[in-house]
Amino acid sequence: MGLGIDPTNDYVFRLAFGDPANSDLLIHLLNSILELSSPIVEVEILNPFVEQEFETDKLAILDIKARDSDGRLLNVEMQKSVTPALRERLVYYAACLCSGQLVEGDAYADLCPTIGICILASLMFPKVAAGHLTFALSNLQYGIPFTDHFQIHTVELPKYNTGVMNCAVGASLEKWAWLFQRAEGLDAEQLRSLLPEAPYQKMIGILEMISKTPNQRHIHDSLQRAARDRAWELQSARSAAREEGLAEGLAEGLAEGQRLGLEMGRELGLEVGRELGLEVGREEGREEGVAIGQIQLLEQMLNDPPSDEQSLAGLTLPELNERLSKLKERLNRRGAL
């Protein structure tokens, strides 16, 4: 039987990587993602994990803010799903961390690099095969870097191989991705045998502790249920939006088709007129609707004042056909037909 503890759970992630006692885990995860020329050797967690947050505050801060030994400011968070405006939120969080460095009298040259990191349990960029993407300020035309002081990194876990036999090889980020996705379904001994390195062993120990501690297990399970509820609500909202968008699209398409029927040439215009007559005319008045549409189109082509639709609707089918024939004769005389 597996541990039943999901490392992507907000509580689990904060407990494991937001506790100063586990700063070595955060350092290892950061180095695995960033692959800096000078690896991080020390971090100060600026918003240390407080377990009571998850017991009393439904709006508890879930991201981890830290400063490394080179002064870089880091914002790390785990996201189960790609929520609306997530990209904008990531920019805002990183920008706040950057702008919050300076107080009155400080020089801009004192700004330290700011790095935002979002680990995703779902896909944000499904058309890109790479699991780790780095975004920075640069010139679009020539790719000229503007500054390395502002970066955002995304790590999409589903893009990494989660096969049991492959977790012991590959880069450290691949191993973290495997552990984040597979730990819930395996027991502690299985995990320890597959990931013998110290950082993963410590992480497995934390997961095992949570599974055996009633209060911690309760917090984990409660957040898992809440996450499932949010996912269901989001899916329901998207389905409703799709249905509403389809209805609006059909209405707009009909209106646009009517406009195009008046503006396009003879062949297409006649076809659109027939289709509109069939769609908006009453079942028993289909032929009258087609005739009215053709009359309005031909009047447009002859630059005649448009006939009032209500007056046309009051004519019989023979009367409409007679008026239509006269309009066609006029176009024939002008060489338009």
List pLDDT tens digits, range 2-23: 899 999 999 999 999 999 999 9
Domain ranges in the chain?
A: 10-239, 264-333
Token pair recorded at residue 169? 């090889």
Q: Which residues pair with 66 in a beta bridge?
A: 45, 74
Q: Which of 204, 181, 180, 206 is nearest to 191 (CA)?
A: 204
Are residues 32 and 173 in contact, defined by beta-carbon separation less than 8 angstroms? yes
Q: Tokens 């377990």: give the residue.
A: 51
Nearest to 150 by CA among 160, 166, 137: 137
Q: Which amino acid is at 174?
A: E
Rounded Cα distance, 241 and 202, in Å: 44
- β-pair partners for 114: 73, 150
* pLDDT score of 240: 73
The rounded distance, in Å, linking the Cα atoms of 23 and 239 is 42
* pLDDT per residue as tens digits for the range 244-276: 776 676 677 666 766 665 565 556 555 645 555
- Residue-wise pLDDT tens for the chain (337 aa)? 789 999 999 999 999 999 999 999 999 999 999 999 889 999 999 999 887 766 655 545 579 999 999 999 999 999 998 988 999 999 999 999 998 988 888 888 889 999 999 999 999 999 999 999 999 999 999 999 999 899 999 999 999 976 655 566 678 999 999 999 999 999 999 999 999 999 999 999 999 999 999 999 999 998 888 878 877 776 777 677 777 776 676 677 666 766 665 565 556 555 645 555 445 444 446 687 888 888 888 877 877 888 887 788 888 888 888 888 888 888 788 765 4
Dihedral, 281, 287, 292, 293 alpha carbons, nearest 10: 70
Q: Which amino acid is at 59?
A: L
Range 80-88, long-range pairs (CB < 8 A, 24+ positions) = 80/8, 80/120, 80/121, 80/122, 80/227, 80/231, 81/121, 81/122, 81/230, 81/231, 81/234, 82/120, 82/122, 82/123, 82/124, 83/234, 86/118, 86/124, 87/124
Q: How far is the C-alpha of 306 from the C-alpha of 326, rounded, in Å?
A: 15
Query: What is residue 34's predicted lDDT score, i.e. its pLDDT?
Result: 96
pLDDT for position 94: 93
CA distance 23 to 38: 18
180 contacts: CB under 8 Å, gap ≥ 6: 7, 8, 119, 121, 157
337, 328 contact by CB (below 8 A): yes
